[in-house]
Amino acid sequence: MSEDEENREMIEIFVMGKRYKVPKGLTIMTALEYAGYKYVRGCGCRGGFCGACATIYRTEDEYKFKMDLACQTAVQDGMFLVQLPFVPAVREDFDIEEVDPKENDNVMLDYYSEIARCVSCNTCTKACPQDIEAMDYVQAALRGDVERCADLSFDCIQCGLCSIRCPADIKHYHLAQLARRITGRYIHEHSDELEKRVQEIKNGEYDDKMKEMVEMEMEELKKLYEERDIREEG
């Protein structure tokens, strides 16, 4: 990493109010590191998948808060920022065997009754760095449409910005996790092909052939590999 100040255009950012000069073109995360912070919290995957680096900021010309991921957002001149490495949002335990929506038409409300407090202010959606329609999935949960809640929330990285901004104290991302698991378990059809294969394996149908493969001479194995037929298209 070349960090030659003289050759790079520098900008000013304010980390929790403290001014630092950092090169233009870094992400918020790499800018903080450039400034001398060593992350313990607030940094996980560095690739936009884990939600550890939720960041709240304002820029000089905007009266509104903005929210984004430190690892995926370029620093801007005059940015005031703070990271939010943890959101205290209580998650409800459940038993996956006991949440069949066919048995209970509003299972979501049973676990997260506070969704009934949603005032449709849409602050959660505005806070989401993934541009998920968070309010809409809460609304879907409210009317018992578990699958829609699951689909709309699918790209959630569980950073918690929605929940920290919510005036109704909803725990969006926990709610959505429950909806997705119910959907995967009870609403989506399961695979017949898989079921069949699992039975074949249980019945030992591959045991002999597998033994043969494991014990096969290297040359023969190589030959088999080179001659294997490859499904190329469609």
- Map the footprint of ligand FES across residues 133-162, applying CB under 6 A: 157
Which one among 8, 20, 37, 44 touches ligand FES, defined by CB under 6 A? Answer: 44
Residue 124 touches which of another protein, ligand FES, none (CB < 5 to 8 A by kind)?
Answer: none
Question: Could you give the C-alpha distances from 165 to 88, 155, 175, 184, in angstroms and in order?
Answer: 12, 19, 16, 29
Residue 44 or 78: which CB sits closer to ligand FES?
A: 44
Contacts with another protein in 18-47 (CB under 8 A)?
24-27, 30, 33-41, 43-47
Euclidean distance between CA atoms 230 and 209, whole angstroms: 20
Query: What's at 214, amino acid-wise?
Result: V
Report whether 142 contacts 109 (CB < 8 A).
Answer: yes
Interacting residues with another protein between 54 and 113 (CB under 8 A) = 72-74, 91, 93-96, 105-106
Q: How far apart are CA 209 and CA 103, in angstroms?
A: 44
* 128 is a contact residue toward ligand FES (CB under 6 A): no
Count the Cβ atoms, other than its own, within 10 Å of residue 195: 10
- Examine residue 132 and tell whether it contacts ligand FES (CB under 6 A): no
| 37: contact with ligand FES by CB under 6 A | no
